[in-house]
Copies of this chain bind each other. A is one copy, B any other.
Amino acid sequence: MENTKIEFEIAPELIRQEIATTLKSTPASLAEMMAHLSNSQGKNIRGYLAALTAADQAQMVGTSAIKAAAAIEILHLASLVHDDIIDEADTRRGKPSLHAKYGKKNAVIAGDYLFCLCFSLISEAYSQGTSVEYIDRISDFSKAMSALCLGEIHQSKHNFDFDLTLKNYLKIIGGKTASLFALSMYSGARAGGLDHQSAKVYGRIGSYFGIIFQLIDDCLDYEGEAGVAQKPVGKDLREGIITLPLIYALKRDPQIKEAFAIGIPDETIFDQMILKVKALGGVDHTKALAYKYYMKTAKLISGLEDPFKKLELNKMLDRIYDRKM
């Protein structure tokens, strides 16, 4: 495809359309599932970051970067579909999850199919570049996806592990969430013409964005208000996913894990634990760590040259840090 330039302003809408077109251009047997996913698109933050980072100083961005941004969102979507199967989550983005609506079998296959769509889109996106560039981009995508899988495996290994350390927790979220954010900004920067070394700074900012995103997510699991949060409060804990609010609370009062001593406790105990974790300062402590990453990220952003990117990245930083759902 030809890599024409468009105004960055319309990039988010074009990414949304590219995703919808890709999902809807599937054969009949998968069309219904893909339409379901297309109709519940998220905020496409990862794709937005990829396109923003690829923009030039005149705030113009190549159509190939739009395709690559859509590919990242579709990779994200693939991981969500499989994630929901793994976590047995019934809802996603306020709608029934794919496996809840179409069954596990179909959802496993649909996730695999989304991986194919992602690689097809990258092929289209980078078809104008040199062989070396192209291989590098494919390799970036495989590596990010590998890191994501490793994060998930780690999380699964530490299911209901009340001795999970901060270090291992950070390793988990570094894989399952930060790797895709890092990919977005690193590959965006490369698509925008930066060399590996310069693009790495963007990759690091992306990685921090991902960590903040996940830290806030983990707080919301303990304090989100029903109806506002798009997932039920306490979902992680019920599934045995140990996150920082709990890790911190356990440090202050190791007794709270006793509730699990004779197996999975009942609903009332879960509700009590959620209150205890909050009362012990687990959520506040997690937010404090998120703030540290906020400051580190802001510092990196301030070192960038392009004023437009600085402005937009700062906005995104606030948006990720302050989000309530």
Name A residues whose Cβ lies closer than 8 Å to a Cβ of B: 27, 29-30, 78-79, 82, 85-86, 103-106, 108-113, 115-117, 119-120, 122-123, 126-127, 129-135, 138-139, 141-143, 145-146, 149-150, 152-154, 156-157
Q: Is the CB of B123 within 8 A of A127?
A: no
Q: Which residue of B lies closest to A171 (CB)?
A: B29
Smallest beta-carbon distance A292→chain B, Å = 27
Q: Is the CB of A106 within 8 A of B153?
A: yes
Smallest beta-carbon distance A22→chain B, Å = 12
Shortest Cβ-Cβ A-B pairs, 3 listed: A131-B131, A113-B149, A116-B146
Q: Is the CB of B109 within 8 A of A108?
A: no
Q: Is the CB of A109 within 8 A of B152?
A: yes
Distance, CA A150 to CA B33, complexed state (A)? 12
Smallest beta-carbon distance A140→chain B, Å = 10
Instruction: Specify which of B86, B103, B139 is in contact with A123 (CB 8 Å cutoff).
Output: B139
Q: Which residues of B lie under 8 Å from residue A85 when comparing CB positions?
A: 104, 108
Q: Which residues of B lie under 8 Å from residue A139 when comparing CB positions?
A: 120, 123
Instruction: Specify which of B82, B122, B134 is in contact with A108 (CB 8 Å cutoff).
Output: B82
Q: Is the CB of B108 within 8 A of A123?
A: no
Smallest beta-carbon distance A150→chain B, Å = 6
Q: Which residue of B lies closest to A131 (CB)?
A: B131
Smallest beta-carbon distance A153→chain B, Å = 5
Q: Which residues of B lie under 8 Å from residue A111 when comparing CB positions?
A: 112
Q: Is the CB of A138 within 8 A of B156?
A: no
8 additional A-B pairs beyond A86-B105, A110-B153, beta carbons within 8 Å, are A29-B150, A86-B108, A109-B153, A112-B145, A116-B142, A120-B146, A123-B138, A127-B135
